[in-house]
A and B are shown apart, each in its own frame.
Chain A
């Protein structure tokens, strides 16, 4: 600990303690100035730049043409497949993650299952991107272990319409980080359900299902919905996994945008901005919906 006899003279040297001068209001804000400047320069302004660009013509005037141009079939198809993959992987991820979380917290399983699942989920939720694509190619690609094994027992996945380079292939791959992310976030919420609530409900005559319907589901709902939105945004913005998995055979929005940034394949810089704006719009809309829903229905939350 600090030696008082040493720090005493140093304090005496400065006639006013440093804190006293910082009390006045304008200097207060200096403490957060670096963060605010950073956030403006490298998060908010670049985003605004694109949003504004989406509504500008090549000569800088206001226009809605870029947004209207999004309606061309390749771009619409890209948005559609992106939304499908994101919704499917976040919906499945959310429900499967919830089921696993309930199983390990409330299923009466031995303690090691809980810690094992949580540790693994922590890792898998961050295991995305290019290596994840490699893992699924090695598993479910044409020469993947599972594909080969299933073929050797007479079931050919690829003859039954499966392809890892497809909507379902991508969804299945995304689930590898979506499910664990749900588990990691929802387990604390399930831990927050007090045992006494269930007992109180039972003494009041409620069946297990009534208790779930009237208490458990409403209590978990905000965390569940919030995590679902997070999973959606997570999948919607992801590019590395899809790019490494499918190359450009599955044109999701981020891959279209990636190609546009690299080589202006759309031959219209402002249309690129419009695509970026569309992505922000969709993830933003999901969040606005979430906030609206939460404030409307969860008045009991502090």
Chain B
């Protein structure tokens, strides 16, 4: 593993008696795109603001490129930041906004002009140079804010929920743009969001945060498929939770609504008679028996929602309800509420939540 570019070590932050971040550790490699994902109040923004220098950690240290920056002022850190509410300076034109960091750093006018033009090309808004922020749409303003943050070539790019204030469509196109620019420039980036789809789609790694600590740090694939904690499993993606009763811990046998399910591997720490929660992603379940699916459960169709290309079906199995999606097929009518139905899945897709 390469030398970490950004290292957040044992960082803690309390405001008075309340601790909002506790013992947060993270190493970020050069050029990596890491998302902090979590519900509001989980401490993700506070960690970001400590990296930016707006909050001072109560304990721990933050190292960038081998240099401890924990006590540096924000304007000495050379980080670029993009805010949720754009935060463009209203009295400056687009070009002047982008040039702000360059001017402050004492760059000559011709050099600054060249850099501004380069930035405007990068965000594909070269014709907007002389406009004022109020004349631009939200998406355009946020792209300008991104260009402004990147223009002085910061060591780190910090994005604080930059897409939350935008329309759904713009949000998707801008996040792709942010990712492609980030990849092209190879700039180390931290992206704070509460939107799991956003985090999954553009990150190299995700730190899922809850209650002031990182619950799990991993690639989107790992986070989604192998959630380490119940919180992560619930927060990331849709999850069906089935209550089961352990019948044979060493053989991994569990009963769900009086139907037996064999899990891969033993159930360590459980004994027969214990109840436990089993989780399944909707896309791992199908209505009919599929090749490779080794387990099936019988139930009854409880709800059918026709969503166009996809039909979302809820199947009741005893006290549990399982959601699953089937693709629309013009020759097959959708299932009918009240019909008996079998669902099948691979026992390997089943997660045991502790």
Whether the pair A214, B89 counts as a contact (CB closer than 8 A) is yes
* Proximity bits, A184-228, B CB within 8 Å = 1, else 0: 000000000010110111111111001000110011000000000
Neighbouring B residues of A196 by C-beta, 8 Å = 83, 85, 87
Instruction: Give the interface SS of chain A, mostly helix, strand, loop or mixed.
Output: helix
Residues on A with C-beta less than 8 A from B54 are 199, 202
Minimum distance in angstroms from A298 CB to a CB of chain B: 8
Contact yes or no, A203 B80, CB < 8 A: yes
| Interface residue count on the A side (C-beta < 8 Å) | 21
Report chain A residues within 8 Å CB of B80: 203-204
Candidates A201, A203, A299, A302; contact of B79 at CB < 8 Å: A203
Q: Is the CB of A215 within 8 A of B89?
A: yes
Bound together, the chains give a CA A97 to CA B152 distance in angstroms of 37
Give the shortest distance, in Å, between A202 (CB) and chain B (any CB): 4
CB-CB under 8 A from B83, the residues of chain A are 196, 199-200
Q: Per-residue CB proximity of B145-177 to A under 8 Å, as 1/0?
A: 100110010100010000000000000000000
Contact at A204–B100, with CB atoms within 8 Å?
yes
Indicate which residue in A197, A207, A300, A302 contacts B87 across the interface (CB closer than 8 Å).
A197
- Number of residue pairs spanning A and B whose beta carbons lie under 8 angstroms apart: 84
Q: How many Å lie between the Cα of A196 and that of B53 in the bound state?
A: 13
A205-B91 in contact given A194-B85, A200-B81 (Cβ < 8 Å): no
Which of B70-78, B241-249, B326-334 touches A? B70-78
Q: A196-B83, A199-B81 are in contact. Are A300 and B75 (CB under 8 A)?
A: no
What class of interface size applies to chain B in its complex with A? 35 or more
Flag whether B24 is at the interface (Cβ < 8 A): no
Chain B residues, CB < 8 A from A204? 75, 80, 100-101, 104, 148-149, 152
Are B75 and A214 neighbours in the complex by a CB distance under 8 Å? no
Given the known interface contacts A196-B85, A300-B134, the answer about A203 and B91 at a Cβ–Cβ threshold of 8 Å is: no
B17 lies within 8 A of chain A by Cβ: no
What chain B residues lie within 8 Å of A300 (beta carbons)?
90-93, 132-134
Known contacts: A219-B91, A299-B132. The answer to whether A205 contacts B85 by CB under 8 A is no
Does B105 count as interface, using CB distance less than 8 angstroms?
Answer: yes
Q: With A215-B89, A218-B91 known to touch, is A202 a contact of B53 (CB < 8 Å)?
A: yes
Q: A194 contacts which chain B residues (CB < 8 A)?
A: 85, 87
Output the least CB separation between A206 and chain B (Å).
Answer: 5
- Rank and list the top 5 A-B pairs by shortest CB-CB distance, nearest first: A204-B101, A196-B87, A202-B74, A203-B81, A300-B132
6 contacts between A and B (CB under 8 A): A200-B81, A204-B104, A204-B148, A204-B152, A205-B78, A219-B89
Residues of B within 8 A of A (CB): 52-54, 73-81, 83, 85, 87-93, 100-101, 103-105, 132-134, 145, 148-149, 152, 154, 158
Residues of A participating in the B interface, judged by any CB pair closer than 8 Å? 194, 196-197, 199-207, 210, 214-215, 218-219, 298-300, 302
With contacts A201-B100, A204-B148, A204-B152 known, what are 12 further pairs, Cβ within 8 A? A199-B81, A200-B145, A203-B77, A203-B149, A204-B80, A204-B104, A205-B105, A205-B152, A207-B75, A214-B103, A300-B90, A300-B92
